[in-house]
Structure 1
Amino acid sequence: MLRCRQFEIFANFSKGQEDCLFLNIFTPQNRSFNNLLPVFIYIHGGAFMFGAGSSYSPKTIMNAGNMLVVTINYRLGPLGFLSTEDGIIPGNLGLKDQQLALKWIKQNIYLFGGDPEKILLTGQSAGGASVHLHVLKKETENLVSAAVAISGSALNPWVMQMNAKEKTKTLAKMLNCKCQGKKLKSCLQEQPIENINSAVGTMFKFLDNPFNLFGPVVEKENTPGAFMTADPQNLIERGEIANIPFMLTFTTEEGAYNAASLLRKNEKGLDYIEELNERWFELAPYLLFYYDKPCKKCKQMLSKSLKEMYMGKEIFSRKSYLKLQKMFSDLIFINGILETIILHRMFGPRPVYSYIYANPHNYGVGNFLANDLEFEFGATHGDDEVLFLPFAFSTNYTSKVNDMKISKYFLKMFETFVSEGIPVFKDTSLPANGNNLEPIQFLQIFEKIYFIGPWSTSNTNLQECQQRKNCFSY
């Protein structure tokens, strides 16, 4: 499997190749070149630190036979996102790799039977945040027809790096590059990649947190070839948004990534989550991505208020874990995605579409991170993704009957979105959230039913739809 060179967080070693900028293009069998097919482009996740396009199987989409699939590689970690916040090492090389891939696909996909006028850009987690960042570039409307950011937004707190220069200095010091400017760049370029990744492995504060040591940055205005020169919120408020249909999505329990790793055992045989009872004020800023705030007292106050809000008087333990997971879900993923929807409604050229996925499968990211097959985490980060682009090497996932139906409806939704600009799930068009004061309407997908309505963390809307009998069954 070809992947870009990276420090594999979960395996704790370096792997991959530096010569890695390849596309994986899949076409259905027996396709007719007389009828070009829509194109499903996928940007993989991995916190901008790990992952590969080749990790995902196109089998589900290929069996349906209605779209081409293209997965892409891009440079990761320090090779893709190191920055000194100047013109010497400006950063965002991984995003520029993605942009180059989009341009190549637009120009050449017809040679593989793909329709260059029907290109759907998708991505999950860091891939979803990447999709959003591309949507915040006007030129993207000339490259793709529609975009779907799955479980990731540029406004999530882990996406934009606020202290990139300091991280670069820290890494350089460990590599004995005690110089600045062009000499620093030359010194880093001379380092064996194994040394760089070994140094990266020492920069995590607790377990694999903060999980994105390197990521997108705002580049200087005069930087040649800059990907972005303003932060995402400013870009949205200035209307710097591609005029294409856009969808943002999330699962109900996104926070299983990365909270579930706290259910693993430490060297004393205790759950890591129990360490939070003594180290909460030290670790919370790294777990929840406000460690770069300059005000130490502010960080302490925020940590205190978050603990009170989500945990009440309970201690951190396996028994109270789901409350902590809820905190991770809200702060790391859901709040930023909701804020993105609101801002795009206000400043974007088109309505925004959204779905919420609430149907857990038997082996999600929580089970993997906790190394626990029995714990019920709910519908976690990536549980929807597995139904249309599953991880190619997973041996623990088995489909349920309803999963197969949902998978078919997902594919129809993507096909109608890229072809017609309006996503249709089964027989239901997703609501278009335009610039008005009405509550945001979501397609909400559960195990046996789905419905459209405002989202409530207490499942109030689910109960209401069941009482009013306006839920749709599979």
Structure 2
Amino acid sequence: MLRDVVIQPMAIICITLCLLCTIKKLAAATPVEVTTQLGVLKGKLESVAGRQVASFLGVPFGEPTSGQYRFKPPRMVKPWKKPFEATTLAPSCYQSKDTTFPGFRGAEMWNANTPLDENCLYLNMWVPWGVRNATVLVWLYGGGFWYGTPSLDIYDGRALAAEGDVIVVNLNYRMGVFGFLFLDDPDVPGNMGLMDQQLGLQWIRQNIAYFGGNPEKVCLFGESAGAASIVAHMIANDSRPLFHNGILQSGSLDNPWAMETPEKALNKAQQFARSLKCDNELVSSTIHCLMNKSASELNDAIWNVNLSFLEFPFVIVSRDRGGFFNQDAFVSLHEGNYKKDVNLIVGLNENEGSFWTFYYLPKHFRIEHDSLLSKDAFMDCVEESLALYPTVVRRAAAFHYLDQQCRNQPEYYRDAVNRMIGDYFFTCDSLWFAEQLLEARAAKVYVYHFKHRASTNPWPAWAGVMHAYEIEFVFGLPLLYPGNYTPQEEEFSKEIIKYWTTFATSGKPEVPKGTLSWPEYTLAKKESFALKFRTKEIERRIKEETCKTWRSARKIEYLLYASQYRAGATASIGTTFAYRLATTISIMLPALLRV
């Protein structure tokens, strides 16, 4: 009898727990439907941060891009007859995988987490249920235009939608050879990935009202290659009406890795075709050969091209054959031919360069140790990272970042390499673009300096606040997974979400009451907002002298290119003696004046 008495309550408890779990699951995934002009979409409704949020995942916005449509501009998706089950995350566009650090979370977290598919024009969307006239935040992911996906765990839009009361849309786009190969031919026009993004924005404009969104309140936000893409859309005539504000996180189109000339892009394409035995004097024959290769064959060959430091296989080309750019994008960027009535947040992380040292300078930078450098090792890193420049330029750069107090501290030399890479390849071009936009006096610009290192960051502590590691706070991961973060980081993430979403709505980031206001970035004061938990501060003229040095070199690069462009020449930036001489004078002069 005693045994029966014990078992009976236990059985009741087990049954009760099972019922509670079932009820919880049902409550967490209630089916919902929305009828659009294309057909019915079936999503799921769940409670997030005290708010009901509907997820519509893997929603098609473009027709298939495989077979005869490989390398072609995208086509708008056709209407469907049966309700579409939008409950599975979007597939990832065909891409390579980062295998540099197998099993290491810091690298693996950026690898595609959904099946690869050449037909990948899908989006993920999160909607605070019941909204009307809501602001829409559209995410363009980074990854050097060769890898990335809108479905990564770190891009989960549920918390951002719930906490910020905005609709979040993550767009997919073709990458690598599928999205950015350029053969100077309408059948392989280049910038197909940007056209995919543009098509996604058109889909949003036509359909977002069905979900309670306002097509006149669309804000693009993107990181690294995604940020560079936003600037490309500011240039593209057909993209300009499709968004109204923008947030550039650690990237701009003028970054050295983001865009290249047609000559350079074509040279890479020819190397690529040659590696697949597809090179032919007739472009049509080359294209025919590439069309008959499998997706995996094409993808496996993207690294068979000559690449310099922090250069990616196939990126944006400044003049494509598909009509995305109406004018050379280098010329448009430097001469102000772009959408100017768009408010911007422009951001940089404190240690933009450290992420790249592990990949491009592995002899000196390792995840297993502190990567302390001697002065000779520092000079070796300068030589390698700026190998395309003449010796005198590399020496000028070394002088600028050397320890002027001659303390000969290994930590200083390590951090100096990280600063140099971050300044040249990311930060200075972002600040330059902010100032260029301000000269038009048609919009407001806000600049942030992100200075909080997440408690979850798996990279060595000395790497600091790395490239891309603000994203988890923007998307609200501490709200979704509070057990992985500190309570303070949860509050910090709420602050970041408030900045981003209020800016997306009004063009001005609102700060919590009683805290320091985020000032506009002006040409007179150049004030940026330091984002760090508990301590908010205004920084003035951040990296101004350093960036003058780098931007003087970039200006000469452009002037040479522009003269050749107007003359009808196609010489690539950075390949001629005239460029080297001009750049040497340009970059050396400010450095020498400080001696």
Matched ranges for 1:6-25 at <5 A: 6-10=95-99, 16-25=116-125
1:330/1:186 Cα in 2 relative to 1: closer, same or farther (>3 Å)? Answer: same
What residue in structure 1 maps to residue 270 of structure 2?
169
Matched ranges for 1:276-425 at <5 A: 280=381, 283-285=384-386, 291=388, 298-312=389-403, 320-347=413-440, 349-364=442-457, 367-368=458-459, 372=460, 375-389=461-475, 398-425=484-511
Deviation string for 1:317-367 (max 9, x for gaps)? 777321111111101111111111111111352132211111111344xx4
Supply the distance in 2 between the matched residues of 1:156 and 1:228 (Cα, whole angstroms).
21
Supply the distance in 2 between the matched residues of 1:454 and 1:199 (Cα, whole angstroms).
46
Supply the distance in 2 between the matched residues of 1:272 and 1:17 (Cα, whole angstroms).
42
Structure 1, gaps ≥5 residues long: 292-297, 459-474
1:281/1:354 Cα in 2 relative to 1: closer, same or farther (>3 Å)? Answer: closer
What residue in structure 1 maps to residue 357 of structure 2?
259
What residue in structure 2 maps to residue 444 of structure 1?
530
What letter matches 1:344 in structure 2? L
Supply the distance in 2 between the matched residues of 1:93 and 1:22 (Cα, whole angstroms).
15
Supply the distance in 2 between the matched residues of 1:88 and 1:363 (Cα, whole angstroms).
45
> Percent identity of the aligned residues?
24
Deviation string for 1:33-62 (max 9, x for gaps)? 5x2322111000001110101111113213
* 8 Å CA contact 1:363, 1:396 repeated in 2: no
SS in 1 for 2:254: coil
Structure 2, gaps ≥5 residues long: 1-88, 103-110, 545-595
Higher relative contact order (CA 8 A, sep 6+): 1
* 8 Å CA contact 1:359, 1:447 repeated in 2: yes
What residue in structure 2 maps to residue 184 of structure 1?
286
Supply the distance in 2 between the matched residues of 1:316 and 1:75 (Cα, whole angstroms).
45
Q: Which has the higher mean CA deviation after the structures are superposed, 409-418 or 124-133?
A: 409-418
Deviation string for 1:418-467 (max 9, x for gaps)? 22222213245533335xx4121212122321123414459xxxxxxxxx
1:197/1:276 Cα in 2 relative to 1: closer, same or farther (>3 Å)? Answer: farther
SS in 1 for 2:327: coil
Q: CA deviation at 1:218?
A: 1.4
1:5 and 2:106 equivalent?
no
SS in 2 for 1:422: coil
What letter matches 2:526 in structure 1? I
Supply the distance in 1 between the matched residues of 2:537 and 2:384 (Cα, whole angstroms).
39
Q: CA deviation at 1:305?
A: 2.5
* 8 Å CA contact 2:219, 2:245 repeated in 1: yes
TM-score (norm. length: structure 2)? 0.65
Supply the distance in 2 between the matched residues of 1:131 and 1:122 (Cα, whole angstroms).
8
Aligned positions, number:
431
Supply the distance in 2 between the matched residues of 1:59 and 1:425 (Cα, whole angstroms).
22
What residue in structure 1 maps to residue 135 of structure 2?
38
Q: Aligned-residue CA RMSD in angstroms?
A: 3.4
Supply the distance in 1 between the matched residues of 2:510 and 2:468 (Cα, whole angstroms).
21
What residue in structure 2 maps to residue 216 of structure 1?
316
* 8 Å CA contact 2:379, 2:398 repeated in 1: no
* 8 Å CA contact 1:360, 1:378 repeated in 2: yes
* Correspondence for 2:145 among 36, 48, 52: 48
Supply the distance in 2 between the matched residues of 1:280 and 1:215 (Cα, whole angstroms).
25
What residue in structure 2 maps to residue 294 of structure 1?
none
1:145 and 2:247 equivalent?
no
**Computing the radius of gyration over CA atoms, which structure comes out larger, 1 or 2?**
2
* 8 Å CA contact 1:277, 1:316 repeated in 2: no
Supply the distance in 2 between the matched residues of 1:326 and 1:338 (Cα, whole angstroms).
15
Supply the distance in 2 between the matched residues of 1:38 and 1:71 (Cα, whole angstroms).
14
TM-score (norm. length: structure 1)? 0.80
* Correspondence for 1:108 among 184, 201, 207: 207
1:205/1:143 Cα in 2 relative to 1: closer, same or farther (>3 Å)? Answer: closer
1:23/1:346 Cα in 2 relative to 1: closer, same or farther (>3 Å)? Answer: same
1:234/1:124 Cα in 2 relative to 1: closer, same or farther (>3 Å)? Answer: same
* Correspondence for 1:123 among 214, 222, 228: 222
Deviation string for 1:277-322 (max 9, x for gaps)? 7965763246xxxx4xxxxxx4333233323332458999777321
1:194 and 2:308 equivalent?
no
SS in 1 for 2:279: coil
